Structure 1
Amino acid sequence: MNHSKISYYAELFIYPIIVAGLLLYDVESSGFALHPRWLFAALCGAMLWTLAEYLVHRFVYHEVPVLKELHGMHHARPCDLVGAPIWVSVVVFLSFFAVVARFADLEIAGGSTSGLIVGYISYLLVHDAVHRWQLSEHSWLRSCRLRHLRHHRDPIPGNFGVVTGFWDHVFGTVLASGRARPRDA
């Protein structure tokens, strides 16, 4: 789905406010002291995001018919403002928060959801950078761009991680430049 600039970039403005609110809720409820449990949960949420990003990109965007078509639009026109509507991520994050709160507590739910959202914001920024920003030749973002462009151009599916290629290494879906993956050779 093509977006206006406002709707495409809205999450970059809304989600930091939500993370700040979850952090302030935890700090205020604890007498203005940040709990290590919240920070640890946030770190776990951010790490969980990298796996979620990989799995959604690999199995949802490349396999589920309606979303595969939407993602195909992105592959066909990578610089266009194509993406899922914001309500999709809102539903995912609210559901995640509710499940964690049900099985743990509000502190862990707030921290882990904040980490997940920060991971998602990182993904949004990196993905925007690899397609639209002017990047210096030796920057980390340029290495992300090169890895992601191989995902777009290679006929063999791979390089599903945008922020990190870690899970591509774990699951054997790394596309090395100019070579097929060893298991596909």
Structure 2
Amino acid sequence: MASKDFPVKFAGETYDLNKFLKDHPGGVNTLERYRGRSIAGVMKTYGHSDSAYHMLSDFKVKSAGDRNLTGGVSENGRIITKPEAECDVDEIAFLEELESRLDWSKPILSQLHKIAPHYQKWVNSAVYRKCRLFSNPMLEYMTFTPWYVVPIFWIPIILYLGLSQYFDYVQCEDCEDRHVTNIQFIWHLVFGFIFWTFLEYSLHRWVFHYDPGSSIRMIQMHFLIHGMHHKVPFDGLRQVFPPIPALVIVITLVTLIWPIFTYPLIKAVGSLTGYLIYDMIHYYVHHGSPSDGTYFYAMKRYHSNHHFLNHDKAFGISSKLWDHVFKTIVQVKKLNFALRW
């Protein structure tokens, strides 16, 4: 094999993890020692989910060789190897069968009816693939968003709104009836920021993770707004929110809160700042390489736990604040060594 390959063994098969090394939630350094060796034991030791075993199929090296098939036979005739017996074989076989119902070379959105009765199980079983949503090229293009587009789009809007509100309410002349001090202006910004953190948690928990049931339209909607991210969590072009749909949501929310809050646009500046920070943190905890002991290191491990172990907990991405409040906090396993990505 070429030096860039990273072969590992599992259940008598060979898998090349080269593309996955930096994305591995457990870091590069936990895999380095297993190059060319079996990973069955370590996967069991560190409590990998059925989704992790299922995702191995995306890295399988398609070549003949000594399969070392030993062990029993499942009810459906599958030979169970000794390493494979350590995981839930029937569950993984079912996940693989679900996956086989879809053709990943074609738009996925129009095929979701094939797995509808088991959508929640399927969508939380991650794969390491690219996902096409629409057959229409223009619609498909609008679903891709490089991370840097988000700050390029939102920073000018935040600066414009912030400065215009500051001059309208703080540095204004003849505006005693609506004048605010610098401290009051900052307070409204901070309130908006904190309001965003609550909104971030609420949207993630009660909107993005709602159960669409068996309705195909609701399943498709869920997959569009968040399910896709859980199914293909390593696709860097689909981990920040596209600016135009985000702008529509922002305008809708501002319209709703306008009659409720005083100085709504000042508060909106704080919320938009919180949103921008959130989206950048979300991208970074997926693709960044934070150092042990830092805030982002802890949040990267915390968010990985949400993706691969506790889908119904750990909803906070930029912070754990509201997970503590609503008791959805997760205690991530402590390690005696630092992870590297």
Report the TM-score when normalising by structure 2: 0.47
Tell me if the contact between 2:154 and 2:276 (Cα under 8 Å) persists in the aligned partners.
yes
What letter is aligned with 1:86?
Answer: P
- Partner Cα separation in structure 1 for residue 145 and residue 153 of structure 2: 16
Counterpart of 1:19 in structure 2 is 158
The alignment status of 1:138 with 2:138, answered yes or no, reads no
> Kindly, what percent of the aligned residue pairs are identical?
25
Q: 1:35-184 counterparts in 2 under 5 A?
A: 35-63=182-210, 65-70=219-224, 71-80=226-235, 81-83=237-239, 84-104=241-261, 108-155=263-310, 157-177=312-332
Tell me if the contact between 1:60 and 1:67 (Cα under 8 Å) persists in the aligned partners.
no
Deviations 1:102-138 (A, max 9, x none): 4455xx1221101110110110111011011121112
Q: Which runs of 5+ in 1 are unaligned?
A: 179-185
What letter is aligned with 1:45?
Answer: G
Structure-2 change in CA distance of 1:34 and 1:88 (3 Å): farther
Report the TM-score when normalising by structure 1: 0.82
Larger fraction in helix: 1
Q: Which runs of 5+ in 2 are unaligned?
A: 1-132, 134-142, 173-179, 213-218, 334-341
What letter is aligned with 2:163?
Answer: L
Deviation of 1:16 (Å): 1.5
Choose 74-83 or 140-149, whichever is displaced more: 74-83
Tell me if the contact between 1:45 and 1:113 (Cα under 8 Å) persists in the aligned partners.
yes
The structure, 1 or 2, with the larger RCO (C-alpha pairs under 8 Å, 6+ apart) is: 1
Deviations 1:41-62 (A, max 9, x none): 1101100111111111111111
The count of corresponding residues between Structure 1 and Structure 2 is: 174
What letter is aligned with 1:117?
Answer: L
Structure-2 change in CA distance of 1:96 and 1:68 (3 Å): closer
